[in-house]
Structure 1
Amino acid sequence: MAKPNKKGPVRTVDIYCANCTCALFKYRKGGKGALVKCFLERITKNHTQDNNHCPSCEQVFARATIIRGTPAIKFIGGKVRFK
């Protein structure tokens, strides 16, 4: 499978914790679908310590994985929101 485009899309979204609305990431998202995964190379601003726990409420919102040979995090359904 092909790797994701490193430059990526221009549109950025802010990702928030669904529980406490704390800011987690600023991410370059492609397409208009749901937010399922997040490639680490496309994160422009990271507000978390370990990419899996919310810094405010300590809730686990994602799992680290490798997708198409690239490090990524897969979000747990209903744990994050984006604008």
Structure 2
Amino acid sequence: MAKPNKKGPVKTVQIGCLQCKTPLFKYRKGGKGTLVKCFKERIVEDHTATPCRCPGCGQEFARETLIRGVPAFKMIGGKVHMK
């Protein structure tokens, strides 16, 4: 499988917790689909203290994994929103 593009997209989105509305990431997202995964190298700003846990309410919103050999967060459905 091919690795994700190193340069990455230029469009950034804000990712926040759906339950408490706390901002989690500022992320360079490619495409116009839903947010399924976040490659760690594309995260511009990280507002979380511990990985995959919301700093506001403490719920787990993602799982750490390797996608195509690159470290990423696999999002849990219905836990995050993006704008």
Q: Normalised by the size of structure 2, how large is the TM-score?
A: 0.98
* Structure 2 spans left out of the alignment, 5+ residues: none
Q: In 1, distance between residues paired with 2:8 and 2:74? A: 18
Q: In 2, distance between residues paired with 1:6 and 1:16? A: 24
- Runs of 4+ that moved beyond 6 A: none
Task: Give the SS at the match of 2:41.
Answer: helix
Q: In 1, distance between residues paired with 2:50 and 2:74? A: 14
* Equivalent residue number for residue 46 of structure 2: 46
Task: Give the SS at the match of 2:14.
Answer: strand
* Equivalent residue number for residue 4 of structure 1: 4
C-alpha displacement of 1:25? 0.1
Q: Normalised by the size of structure 1, how large is the TM-score?
A: 0.98
Identity %: 66
RMSD of aligned alpha carbons: 0.5
* Structure 1 spans left out of the alignment, 5+ residues: none
Equivalenced residues, count: 83
